[in-house]
Structure 1
Amino acid sequence: MKFHVQSSLIVILSCVLILEATLAPPDKNKKSKPAKELKINKGPVDRNVHDRNLVIDEPTSESILKESATYYKNTSARLFDGPTLGFVTPWNNHGYNVAKTFGSKFDIISPVWLQVLHKGKHKYEIGGTHDVDAKWIQDVRRAGPPGKKVLPRVMFEKFSENDFSHVLMYESARDEIAELLVQVCKNPKHKFDGIVLEVWFQLAGRVQDKHLLRLVEHLAKVLQMNNLMVVLVVPPLRDQMDFFTQKHFEALYPLMSAFALVTYDYSNIERPGANSPIKWIRRAVEHICPDTIPNYLEKRQKVLIGMNMYGMDYTLGGGGPITGRQFLDLLKMYKGSLNHAEEDEENYFEFKKPSKHLVFYPTLYSINKRIELAKELNTGLSLWEIGQGLEYFYDLF
């Protein structure tokens, strides 16, 4: 009996000790183990993203955070042979460095600098020349490849309906604008190789085709006569909106050095989703240059598939576009692999705390898929814009 009492006391005492250990408040003096800090790799490395097996359909947030600031040390190595244009904007000046570091990847660099301004009755001038950086242009050309072209983007800015009507109706107005563009390109301080013209977006659907064609043809002919290139920015087919057709492409093909097809911005805050569904890109190219026309593969070399280097962050309040840096900040709040939208060939992730976010942003995998499509269709590429991307993206080009 004595043995059983002692045994019972031992069991009871053990339970009390266990209960105290469970319910007792934690020792405030006891230090918690710090979270392991993720090592971020940066700068040039010995192997490209393909050799490091980073081009996968469902990359992890950790691998992106860890490796996205690296790039293959041989920046002159080129994997895509088609014509490639990279836009650079003054409001995202990281692009200025990208254009030099990865210069060999781009045949054309287009700084978003210039505007055609209406300055009173029958008077025009070129604005934005204060942004022109002659030293940077020299550095970009030295970065290669041989024959690198620098073409500033040109928009018509602050034009009223009457202002546009005057330009469309009067040859003298078109002559004056064309001559101003030639002068700014021929300026010995920088010597641009031509322009990227963005006017079709502004006027398509607002004016008759014949007037818009006449304006673009007039400017292109004058520039071409002065040995200057013209790349025309054009809208893709979307839903029922067909503002640039095969007919337009065929009419302008002899005058244009290239067509920058804006195959991004497919979704928006009212209709969240992929930025640039890959099947839509294919349709957009085949719409303006189908395989039924003579020499279609040769003609497609002038078509530059638009590729977004930015993403979209959709929130309950609407959301908006994000750059690479903003993407990485959001990615820190997400653990695990990114989702793969197989139909669109894009990646995305979502989280609900501290607030709900649905984030689409390019990955090595989605970019590589679009490069493969460009090779298949025999087109070039147009990147908007290179300062918004991640460093290791440029291993792919």
Structure 2
Amino acid sequence: MRILYLASGIPVPGTLGGSIHTLEVARGLAQRGHDVHVVAASRELPLSYVRLRPMRQLTAQSWNGFTLYHQDIPKALSLLGTAAIIKLTRQLRPDLIMERYYNFAGAGLIAARRLGIPTLLEVNALIVDPPEILKRRIDDALGGPFRRWAEQQCRWASRIVTPLHTTVPAGIPRDKIIELPWGANVETFTPPPTPPPGPPKVIFMGSFRAWHGVSDFVYAARLLIERGHPAHFVLIGDGPERAAAESLAAPYRDRFTFTGAVPHQQIPTLLGQGHLGVAPFNTAPHPALRAAGFFWSPLKIYEYMAAGLPVVTAAIPPLTTIIREGIEGALFREGDVHDLAAAIERVLVNPAAAFAMGQRARARVVAEFSWQRHCAELEHIGESLIKTNSHHILRKIQ
């Protein structure tokens, strides 16, 4: 297949979850023998950044086995690049167009509709925001143009792939929606043959946003330190909650390491030095997750598992179907820092059992939650759509 894959406003390469997702999907499909062309941004751009040249002309470069085009337009203005996307689509004549959903994107769907190409819409967020969100209130005041365009994208898509079907508005036919989780690259992330030496290292990795639970993690770490636990706590990443987390950790600063944002290629090494990965999600600050369920496919959990780490995470479905108590790690009551500390302690109290949990986590992610498996599913969906589209064209000719 020749595939045109649009990731409007997503920096590739980059450290965002969307950047990793886009890169892994493109690379995975290319490794399966497909001719993949990705349109993304070179970096995150402010709304004030607008230059006409990238909208009119896209320059190709070879990257990790696929062709990468940078279209540097602020994410909220993505549709300004539609003409260039249509031009590129006419040049490439792809068999399939894939597009990451974004309310103000959709150029790939427009091009596909004009040229009769099947489409796969990736949905990684709630399409219709709950009433508590400012964008939703503005949209309601304007008469709903954002919602109408979001729903139009869903109607135009041949298929929709999403971690949880509740991200998609109720009016879209259920048989168009395919639930497909994210994953980890099980070739890049490999577990050490034996536990790393020294005191246990407990790792938090994330974007340091409130709903990632970074403050809960530091509070739980302090409880363990005050109980005499010898663990060292490593926080990988950056974001708006970092300063608050560092301030909370300050009384015990020698027991914490804050790495800041690091290139994704360094993550396997950092995780390989750990004994436990923690994903202390707290949906209280995230109205969309409260409204639709935990639709966010947990990249960090899959990467912990691929690196052979046992995992502690919140007892929220569907996280409870990924990490099972006492098998791949431990679960705690969402938002309860005392229960979080207890779950960490429960895993680490027996180092041999913790290592065995990590091995089971690794086996599970290889079998069920790898990017390799994800891309195999995308390939199957894409080939089915192309076959259906070919039959449709033949019938029209006849």
TM-score, normalization: structure 1?
Answer: 0.32
**Pair member with larger Rg:** 1
Larger proportion of helix: 2
